[in-house]
């Protein structure tokens, strides 16, 4: 590995001149600069970031912190991957590398600030911040650790966040289904005790509100059992219902996938027997029959924005907290149809 010293020798200057050249300082004679640059090329010299960081303190690396990905449902893959892509892409553009910090121990022992303490990164992007152990969160404000949260609206004045307008989307879903004649609604949520997903929580609340404004109540499809899939459990509950709702709002697309599949196995078909709308607009929803109506979050853009804020924060003297809300976009799909005739409200035992 070539060092500044090697380059300096070859160019016949002192190593400090090399430092000046690579840092683009202007007090170097053009001719000297050229000689140095030639030597850099010849020796394939790259500045040692570790050594640089030791001086001015910047590693030019950012941590992407999120609960473990590998054992999460498909949804999380798409969701997390899209965010990560945005973070990575914009990061590269700005000259920052991304370090993964994904190990999350459910027992709460995850030391997610380790990489910061070790000075491996200059800041952190969080996805699913609320899920992380409380003790460490205090340190962020105390020590002024630069970080940004995605999809979690953190109260702390030290933390900017980026999120989508889940409420507006959920309200739109209700309005849309209502205008198609639906009067009996259910929401497929998650068990808040066993899982945490701020998006789904917001969607459920807003949908309930919008229904209340129309004088309707929202039923909740969720099983307490530890069924591996929320969607399947919800479908089983649905099939067993007395007067089945005709309009289903699913916490997200992944849950809807499972719901539709399991319901079909019991003879209940979409959109014949019910309509369903999800969130996140997963690509798979474009391939299925019927296609899925959904609301799309600009995930890649959210990732990009998050890292933009973070880099600003890290470099900035006059930093200011920002909270950014993106709109969601409705994506058409065949899973939405008119409310079926009254018979469907009745608990006729569905054919298997």
Partner DNA sequence: CTGAAAGCGCTAACAC
Partner DNA sequence: GTGTTAGCGCTTTCAG
Element (H, E) at 115: helix 114-117
* Strands (DSSP E) found in the chain: 61-65, 97-101, 123-127, 147-150, 160-164, 185-188, 218-221, 247-250, 275-279, 293-296, 323-326, 329-331
Indicate which single residue of 28, 37, 43, 68 sits in contact with a second copy (rule: CB under 8 A).
Answer: 68
Task: CB nearer to DNA: give 17 or 199.
Answer: 17
Q: Output the smallest distance, CB 98 to DNA, in A.
A: 22
Between CA 193 and CA 206 the distance in angstroms is: 20
Between CA 50 and CA 57 the distance in angstroms is: 9
Task: CB nearer to DNA: give 16 or 38.
Answer: 16
For residue 102, the partner it binds in DNA, a second copy, none, with Cβ less than 5 to 8 A by kind, is: a second copy
Indicate which single residue of 69, 180, 201, 314 sits in contact with a second copy (rule: CB under 8 A).
Answer: 69
Indicate which single residue of 22, 28, 43, 53 sits in contact with a second copy (rule: CB under 8 A).
Answer: 53
- Verify binding: residue 86, a second copy, rule CB under 8 A: yes
Beta strand pairing call for 123-127 and 185-188 = unpaired
Instruction: List the end-to-end C-alpha distance of the chain, in Å, as a whole number.
Output: 69
- Verify binding: residue 334, a second copy, rule CB under 8 A: no
Residues in the chain: 352
Q: Output the smallest distance, CB 76 to a second copy, in A.
A: 9
Q: Which residues neighbour 103 within 8 Å (Cβ) at sequence distance 6 or greater?
A: 68, 110
Task: CB nearer to DNA: give 22 or 72.
Answer: 22
- Verify binding: residue 101, a second copy, rule CB under 8 A: yes
Site mask for a second copy (CB under 8 A), range 270-289, x = bound: -------------xx--xxx
- Verify binding: residue 99, a second copy, rule CB under 8 A: yes
Indicate which single residue of 41, 46, 214, 272 sits in contact with a second copy (rule: CB under 8 A).
Answer: 46
Which residues are at the interface with DNA (CB under 7 A)?
1, 3-5, 13-17, 19-20, 22-23, 27-29, 31-33, 45, 47-48, 51-52, 54-56
Element (H, E) at 174: helix 166-179
Tokens coding 78: 């798409």
- Verify binding: residue 300, a second copy, rule CB under 8 A: yes
């Amino acid at each position: 590995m070539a060092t500044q010293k090697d380059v300096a020798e070859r160019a016949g200057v002192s190593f400090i001149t090399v430092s000046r050249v690579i840092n683009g300082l202007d007090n170097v004679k053009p001719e000297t600069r050229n000689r140095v640059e030639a030597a850099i090329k010849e020796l394939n010299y790259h500045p040692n970031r570790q050594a640089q960081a030791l001086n001015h303190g910047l590693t030019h690396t950012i941590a992407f912190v999120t609960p473990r990905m590998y054992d999460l449902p498909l949804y999380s893959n798409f969701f997390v991957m899209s965010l990560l892509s945005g973070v990575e892409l914009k990061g590269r553009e700005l000259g920052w590398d991304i370090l993964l910090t994904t190990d999350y121990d459910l027992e709460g022992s995850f030391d997610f600030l380790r990489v910061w303490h070790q000075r491996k990164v200059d800041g952190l992007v969080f996805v699913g911040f609320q899920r992380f152990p409380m003790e460490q969160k205090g340190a962020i404000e105390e020590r002024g650790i630069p970080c940004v949260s995605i999809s979690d609206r953190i109260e702390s004045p030290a933390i900017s966040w980026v999120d989508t307008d889940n409420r507006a989307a959920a309200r739109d879903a209700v309005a849309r289904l209502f205008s198609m004649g639906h009067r009996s609604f259910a929401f497929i949520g998650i068990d808040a005790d066993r899982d945490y997903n701020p998006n789904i929580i917001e969607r459920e609340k807003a949908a309930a509100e919008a229904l209340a404004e129309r004088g309707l109540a929202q039923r909740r499809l969720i099983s307490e059992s530890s069924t591996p899939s929320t969607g399947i459990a919800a479908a089983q509950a649905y099939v067993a219902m007395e007067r089945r709702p005709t309009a289903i709002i699913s916490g997200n697309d992944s849950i809807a996938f499972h719901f539709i599949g399991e319901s079909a196995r019991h003879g209940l078909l979409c959109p014949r027997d019910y309509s369903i709308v999800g969130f996140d607009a997963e690509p798979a929803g474009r391939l299925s029959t019927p296609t899925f109506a959904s609301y799309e979050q600009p995930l890649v853009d959210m990732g990009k924005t998050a890292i933009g804020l973070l880099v600003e924060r890290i470099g900035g003297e006059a930093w200011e907290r920002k909270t950014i809300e993106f709109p969601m976009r409705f994506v058409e799909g065949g899973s939405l149809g008119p409310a079926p005739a009254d018979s469907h409200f009745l608990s006729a035992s569905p054919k298997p």
